[in-house]
Amino acid sequence: MSGGRVLRDAPWLSSGPAARVLEVFNGSGEEARVVGGAVRNALLNIPIGDVDIATTALPDEVIRRARAAGIKSVPTGIEHGTVTLVVDSQPFEVTTLREDVETFGRKAKVAFGRDWVRDAQRRDFTINGLSVSADGTVHDHVGGLDDIAAGRVRFIGDPDQRIAEDYLRILRFFRMHAAFGAGEPDRDGVLACIRGRPGLASLSAERVRMETLKLLVAEGAPTAIIAMEDGGLLLALFGGVAYRGPFKAMVAAERMLGLKADPIRRLGALGVAVTEDAKRLAIRLRLTNGETKALDSMGHRWWRLAGMDEPTARRRLYRLGEVRYRDRLLLAWARAGGDSDPAPWRELATLPERWSAPKFPLKAADFKARGIAEGPALGHVLTIAEDAWLAADFPLEQSALAAIADQSAARFTRDHRL
């Protein structure tokens, strides 16, 4: 299984900061390799994210060698043997080789080791179990190369056991398949995920959030979502209904508009029909405040955005701002059903590209000049005037603005006469 393949034309490996880090830990009885996602992506010819490095050197030795080489090190996860090195302001996680230690109970413990095979075996999927040396030699101890070529995401070892060690692997299985797999997800893997379903409840919301948001924006997310829904996994994760039709429609709408995949917008399509759904998801996934507000805004009476005429759309855009307007509109579109004509939706969704709302031109001074007293009365009359300005379709001519100011002041005075 091992060897054979050499990674060529990989400047990120042969020169630059990653090469420098590898050099520090290769030699004098120690070895270092790039592991995990970077190797996988390089072999798939897709952009490399973080470059993670594994080494036989123990953490103290990692810190010592970094210092000797003048490289900054931060003990970011020292209890699991991880030290982060920063070279040219690029961070590298350097982790001492680990292996699962057999325990009589269920959970495998990890210990430091010097064995590359066992380090590969404790990783989750074969495509994530590859490592590469500084000279480009690819080491495959788990059958990852064949699976990369076939677009197959397979657990390393017995899927049931691997899932029981860490239930997050259920989510990672579908995420990795959505990002790197071809066709249907591996049957043995899917069945083991379904059997492991009750374990999802034990995961922390933070870990579920991270994997879920990555899963939702992966290339093959619609197919993965169908498989997860069929396995009852989404109900277990979300604690409520998952709407896979709208999810698929959202992905299609984003593509039609040339928008970048947005995890929260996609989560809205998958899980939100009413604002209660947004509140539940925010708790289940421990979303950030910003994410929670965005999701909640999407769910807020989105149905009123269907079939708007252009002046109404302009008012909504003014009130909501570009991002909230577009996200809510896309939810309305995604929930409109597959056979609705895309043309009018597209028209509404692209309104922010054709028109941006002017600033409301009337000021407090305009109303003080019309005899309105300082204080809450001013705020109130400004609201009345702003509504009137919107209803008149954002006029900017002085005469129109003066008329709106006169009428608003008169109306306020009439309504608030003692």
| Interaction of residue 124 with ligand ATP, rule CB under 6 A | yes
- Return the number of the residue (173 or 325) whose C-beta is nearest ligand ATP: 173
| Interaction of residue 115 with Mg ion, rule CB under 5 A | no
Shortest Å distance, C-beta 50 to Mg ion = 4
- Return the number of the residue (166 or 219) whose C-beta is nearest ligand ATP: 166
Residues 345 and 336 sit within 8 Å (Cβ to Cβ): yes
Residue 99 DSSP symbol = E
| Interaction of residue 123 with ligand ATP, rule CB under 6 A | yes
Q: Candidates 16-24, 120-128, 238-246, 339-347 — which segment interacts with ligand ATP by CB under 6 A?
A: 120-128
CA-nearest of 393, 262, 281, 278 to 330 is 262
One residue of 17, 37, 159, 268 binding Mg ion per CB under 5 A: 37
Q: How far apart are CA 92 and CA 73, in angstroms?
A: 9
Residues 84 and 92 sit within 8 Å (Cβ to Cβ): yes
| Interaction of residue 219 with ligand ATP, rule CB under 6 A | no
Q: How far apart are CA 280 and CA 283, in angstroms?
A: 5
Count of chain residues binding ligand ATP (CB under 6 A): 13
| Interaction of residue 135 with Mg ion, rule CB under 5 A | no
Which among Mg ion, ligand ATP, none contacts residue 124 (Cβ within 5 to 8 A by kind)? Answer: ligand ATP
Shortest Å distance, C-beta 224 to ligand ATP = 14
| Interaction of residue 159 with ligand ATP, rule CB under 6 A | no
One residue of 73, 82, 128, 223 binding ligand ATP per CB under 6 A: 128
Residue 217 DSSP symbol = T
Q: Which residue is nearest to ligand ATP (CB)?
A: 37
Which among ligand ATP, Mg ion, none contacts residue 128 (Cβ within 5 to 8 A by kind)? Answer: ligand ATP
The owner of tokens 């495959």 is 140
| Interaction of residue 77 with ligand ATP, rule CB under 6 A | no
CA-nearest of 322, 318, 279 to 300 is 279
Please state, as a whole number, how many other Cβ atoms lie within 10 Å of the Cβ of residue 264: 22
Shortest Å distance, C-beta 95 to Mg ion = 12
| Interaction of residue 52 with ligand ATP, rule CB under 6 A | yes
Which among Mg ion, ligand ATP, none contacts residue 166 (Cβ within 5 to 8 A by kind)? Answer: ligand ATP
CA-nearest of 199, 189, 36, 237 to 107 is 199
List helix spans (H) across 99-165: 116-121, 144-150, 159-165
Q: Candidates 96-104, 168-176, 353-361, 364-372 — which segment interacts with ligand ATP by CB under 6 A?
A: 168-176
Which secondary-structure segment (H or E) carries 101?
strand 98-101
Residues 162 and 169 sit within 8 Å (Cβ to Cβ): yes
Token pair of 130, please? Answer: 């590859």
| Interaction of residue 166 with ligand ATP, rule CB under 6 A | yes
User: In Å, what is the CA distance from 342 to each residue of 221, 249, 352?
Assistant: 22, 11, 17
Which among ligand ATP, Mg ion, none contacts residue 160 (Cβ within 5 to 8 A by kind)? Answer: none
> Residues 6 or more apart from 249 whose CB is under 8 A from it?
269, 333, 334, 335, 336, 338
Q: Which residue is nearest to Mg ion (CB)?
A: 37
Q: How far apart are CA 5 and CA 146, in angstroms?
A: 11
| Interaction of residue 17 with ligand ATP, rule CB under 6 A | no
Shortest Å distance, C-beta 51 to Mg ion = 9
Which among ligand ATP, Mg ion, none contacts residue 152 (Cβ within 5 to 8 A by kind)? Answer: none
- Return the number of the residue (98 or 248) whose C-beta is nearest ligand ATP: 98
Token pair of 71, please? Answer: 């490289």
Q: Candidates 44-52, 117-125, 138-146, 217-225 — which segment interacts with Mg ion by CB under 5 A?
A: 44-52
Please state, as a whole number, how many other Cβ atoms lie within 10 Å of the Cβ of residue 251: 22
> Residues 6 or more apart from 203 whose CB is under 8 A from it?
167, 168
SS3 label, residue 286: coil
| Interaction of residue 50 with Mg ion, rule CB under 5 A | yes
Q: How far apart are CA 123 and CA 140, in angstroms?
A: 12
Shortest Å distance, C-beta 266 to ligand ATP = 17
Q: Report helix angle 244-257 to 221-230, nearest 10.
A: 180
Q: Candidates 7-15, 83-91, 121-129, 331-339 — which segment interacts with ligand ATP by CB under 6 A?
A: 121-129
Residues making contact with ligand ATP (CB under 6 A): 36-37, 49-50, 52, 123-124, 128, 166, 168-169, 172, 214
Binding site for Mg ion (CB under 5 A): 37, 50
